């Protein structure tokens, strides 16, 4: 038998299945953890750090997409791109498998399973995950930075050369989909802290009641579900980098608590009394105009200046047109390998169409368009027809911008976009989040913020 390596997380609401796997899997994995539902999945990913997640497709609860397993597969790949996901389903549905692969799943297993087949798939997923992690700095997994040849990006790269080796606090601004999280990872990777983790937090998705617990931690017994001591994000990032995304969405009354922790470089866990020192480099990001929020009294001026030692504004894709086709080619090659397509490049009409489009969703939107085209194409070159020319032609420079993102100048603009997206999606949270170019948890937070 091969050596027992790696960690696997199993999420299945069937107790009998969990017990069977708790007997089988330890023969092949160094550590095995099981959960009855995805309710604590985020915490498990952060604390257990699995190589593989074996994810059931259906649970007792339901969400708007109609399939909770597919939703959580996408969330796992977004939160931890290095983790391989294997779907666990009772139905041998080829369409389900294709949809799962689109969301980044490694493979799927049909119940009832054959032990040998199950182990072969899971260990292959584990080996792929561990191989990928071999050359990756802890906490910096994800797409590499694409600099391109545009003048705005050249200027940003020059700035990065100067600030990356320092501990300077950095504020990254830009429209949705411009790669703020990728730039944050690049800063960490080129810093002197690159041997330590980078901990990313979607500040806009944390509910107010859990804000202090998530960021600062809690002690056992601090509240009803506090069954054990918990280290918050500040402590988890000790020695490394803390990345606070969507910082403009933090409510005003919670900003004072964040400022206090940043200034003192220490945290007090909820229910505790001891100040715990933390040594972090702070990087923040937002698609909002924080100066406008300060003028409106919605963002603390002292917090703004504390996080704005160095400001990097990422340009939208429409302002770096010379990078669109090279980026599209990069995505084409990546997805051609992933989906085993014989594609080699872009036809001239496709390149022209991509260059003319407005790309209000920026790099993320371009990536999604290319992925869809690669999946549907059967030729060796992507053409304008493959790219859904009718849809793209409605997003040219002369057209009004679509729903995805934009550097929001005020909360009023953001509220309007959220309401329009929910209306266009007929109240479907997943569809509205896709229109806006944000995650479902982020949209939930914004719906609550604006009482929608």
Tell whether 120 is covered by a domain: yes
Lowest-pLDDT range, 11-20, 169-178, 331-340, 433-442? 433-442
344 plus 422 within the same structural domain: no
Q: Which two three-digit tokens encode residue 68?
A: 């909770």
191 plus 321 within the same structural domain: no
The answer to whether 298 and 255 are in contact (CB under 8 A) is: no
Which of the pair, 440 or 244, is modelled with greater confidence? 244
Q: Are strands 275-277 and 266-268 parallel, antiparallel or unpaired?
A: antiparallel
Residue 138's pLDDT band, with cuts at 50, 70 and 90, is very low
End position of a domain, from candidates 393, 421, 436: 393
Round to whole Å and give the CA distance between 177 and 401.
Answer: 14
179 plus 290 within the same structural domain: yes
According to the model, what pLDDT value does residue 408 have?
46
Q: In whole angstroms, how far apart are CA 302 and each of 307, 309, 408, 450? A: 9, 12, 21, 25
Residue 149's pLDDT band, with cuts at 50, 70 and 90, is confident
The H-assigned helical ranges of 217-361 are 233-236, 252-264, 290-295, 301-307, 324-338, 348-356
CATH number of the domain at 237, please.
3.40.50.300
Range of the structural domain that residue 162 is part of = 151-313
70 plus 186 within the same structural domain: no
CATH number of the domain at 338, please.
1.10.8.60
Round to whole Å and give the CA distance between 70 and 139.
Answer: 24
Residue 305's contacts (CB-CB under 8 Å, 6 or more residues apart) are none
Lowest-pLDDT range, 33-42, 137-146, 149-158, 256-265? 137-146
**What value does the CA radius of gyration of the chain take, rounded to a whole number of Å?**
22
Portion of the chain with pLDDT greater than 90, in percent: 40
CATH number of the domain at 442, please.
1.10.10
According to the model, what pLDDT value does residue 49 have?
84
Burial degree of 228 (CB within 10 A; 0-12, 13-18, 19+): exposed
pLDDT digits (tens, 9 = 90+) for 247-266: 998 989 999 999 999 999 99
Tell whether 161 is covered by a domain: yes
Positions of E strands within 203-272: 241-245, 266-268
Q: Which two three-digit tokens encode residue 377?
A: 């194409």
Highest mean pLDDT: which of 106-110, 113-117, 156-160? 156-160
Q: Which two three-digit tokens encode residue 437?
A: 């170019």
Phi and psi of 183, rounded to 5°?
-65, -40
pLDDT, the chain, mean: 83
End position of a domain, from candidates 313, 336, 362: 313
Round to whole Å and give the CA distance between 125 and 6.
Answer: 10
Round to whole Å and give the CA distance between 165 and 186.
Answer: 11
273 plus 341 within the same structural domain: no
Tell whether 433 is covered by a domain: yes
Lowest-pLDDT range, 22-26, 216-220, 396-400, 444-448? 396-400
According to the model, what pLDDT value does residue 183 have?
94
Tell whether 210 is covered by a domain: yes
286 plus 324 within the same structural domain: no
With residue 234 as reference, give the H or E element that holds it.
helix 233-236
According to the model, what pLDDT value does residue 46 have?
75
End position of a domain, from candidates 76, 102, 133: 133
pLDDT digits (tens, 9 = 90+) for 383-425: 888 886 545 644 444 333 344 443 344 566 677 778 877 877 7
The answer to whether 432 and 443 are in contact (CB under 8 A) is: yes
Phi and psi of 210, rounded to 5°?
-105, 0
Residue 68's pLDDT band, with cuts at 50, 70 and 90, is confident
According to the model, what pLDDT value does residue 142 have?
53
Lowest-pLDDT range, 100-104, 146-150, 175-179, 356-360? 100-104
With residue 34 as reference, give the H or E element that holds it.
strand 31-35
The answer to whether 153 and 323 are in contact (CB under 8 A) is: yes
Round to whole Å and give the CA distance between 286 and 201.
Answer: 12
Q: Which two three-digit tokens encode residue 66?
A: 């109609």
3-state helix, strand, coil in the chain (%, to 5): 45, 15, 40
Round to whole Å and give the CA distance between 51 and 141.
Answer: 13
Number of domains in the chain: 4
Tell whether 26 is covered by a domain: yes
306 plus 165 within the same structural domain: yes
121 plus 175 within the same structural domain: no
Round to whole Å and give the CA distance between 439 and 433.
Answer: 6
Round to whole Å and give the CA distance between 206 and 223.
Answer: 17
59 plus 172 within the same structural domain: no
327 plus 301 within the same structural domain: no
Nearest of 217, 297, 300 to residue 254 by alpha carbon: 300
CATH number of the domain at 87, please.
3.40.50.2300
Phi and psi of 405, rounded to 5°?
75, -135
Residue 334's pLDDT band, with cuts at 50, 70 and 90, is confident
According to the model, what pLDDT value does residue 221 have?
87
SS3 89: strand
Tell whether 168 is covered by a domain: yes
Positions of E strands within 293-434: 310-313, 345-346, 381-382
443 plus 350 within the same structural domain: no
Round to whole Å and give the CA distance between 240 and 194.
Answer: 7
Lowest-pLDDT range, 143-147, 198-202, 307-311? 143-147
Tell whether 144 is covered by a domain: no
Tell whether 405 is covered by a domain: no
Residue found under tokens 């493959």: 386
Phi and psi of 137, rounded to 5°?
-70, 135
Give me the mean pLDDT over the 302-330 stretch: 94
Round to whole Å and give the CA distance between 171 and 142.
Answer: 20
According to the model, what pLDDT value does residue 144 have?
67
97 plus 231 within the same structural domain: no
Half-sphere exposure of 74 (CA within 13 A, CB side): 15
pLDDT digits (tens, 9 = 90+) for 156-200: 999 999 999 999 999 999 998 899 999 999 999 899 998 888 999
Is 63's pLDDT higher than 60?
Answer: no
The answer to whether 55 and 85 are in contact (CB under 8 A) is: yes
């Amino acid at each position: 038998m091969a050596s027992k390596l790696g960690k696997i997380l199993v999420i299945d609401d069937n107790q009998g299945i969990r017990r069977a796997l708790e007997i089988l899997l330890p023969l092949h994995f160094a550590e095995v953890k099981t959960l009855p539902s995805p309710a604590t999945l985020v915490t498990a990913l952060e604390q257990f750090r699995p190589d593989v997640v074996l994810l059931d497709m259906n649970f007792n609860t339901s969400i708007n997409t109609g399939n909770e397993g597919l939703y959580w597969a996408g969330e796992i790949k977004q939160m931890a791109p290095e983790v391989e996901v294997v779907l666990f389903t009772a139905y041998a549905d080829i369409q389900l498998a294709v949809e799962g692969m689109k969301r980044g799943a490694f493979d799927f297993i049909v119940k009832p399973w054959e032990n040998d087949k199950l182990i072969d798939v899971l260990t292959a997923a584990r080996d792929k995950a561990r191989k990928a992690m071999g050359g990756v700095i802890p906490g910096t997994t994800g797409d590499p930075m694409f600099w391109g040849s545009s003048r705005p990006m050249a200027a940003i790269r020059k700035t990065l050369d100067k600030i990356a080796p320092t501990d300077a606090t950095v504020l990254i601004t830009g429209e949705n989909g411009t790669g703020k999280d990728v730039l944050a990872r690049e800063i960490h990777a080129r810093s002197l802290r690159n041997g330590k983790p980078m901990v990313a937090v979607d500040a806009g998705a944390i509910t107010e009641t859990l804000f202090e617990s998530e960021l600062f931690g809690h002690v056992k017994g601090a509240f009803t579900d506090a069954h054990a001591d918990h280290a918050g994000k500040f402590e988890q990032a000790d020695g490394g980098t803390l990345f606070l995304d969507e910082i403009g969405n933090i409510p005003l009354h919670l900003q004072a608590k964040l400022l206090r922790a940043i200034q003192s470089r220490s945290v007090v866990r909820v229910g505790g009394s001891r100040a715990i020192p933390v040594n972090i480099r702070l990087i923040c990001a937002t698609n909002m105009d924080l100066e406008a929020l300060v003028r409106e009294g919605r963002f603390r001026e002292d917090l703004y200046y504390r996080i704005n030692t160095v400001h990097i504004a990422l340009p939208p894709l429409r302002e770096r047109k010379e990078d669109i086709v090279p980026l599209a080619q990069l995505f084409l090659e990546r997805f051609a390998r992933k989906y085993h397509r014989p594609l080699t490049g872009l036809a001239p009409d496709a390149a022209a169409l991509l260059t003319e489009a407005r790309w209000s969703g920026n790099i993320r939107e371009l990536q999604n368009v290319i992925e869809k085209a690669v999946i549907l194409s059967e030729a060796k070159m992507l053409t304008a027809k493959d790219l859904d020319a009718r849809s793209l032609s409605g997003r040219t420079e002369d057209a009004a911008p679509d729903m995805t993102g934009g550097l929001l100048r005020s909360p009023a603009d953001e509220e309007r976009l959220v309401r329009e997206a929910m209306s266009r999606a007929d109240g479907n949270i997943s569809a509205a989040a896709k229109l806006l170019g944000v995650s479902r948890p982020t949209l939930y937070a914004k719906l609550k913020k604006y009482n929608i």
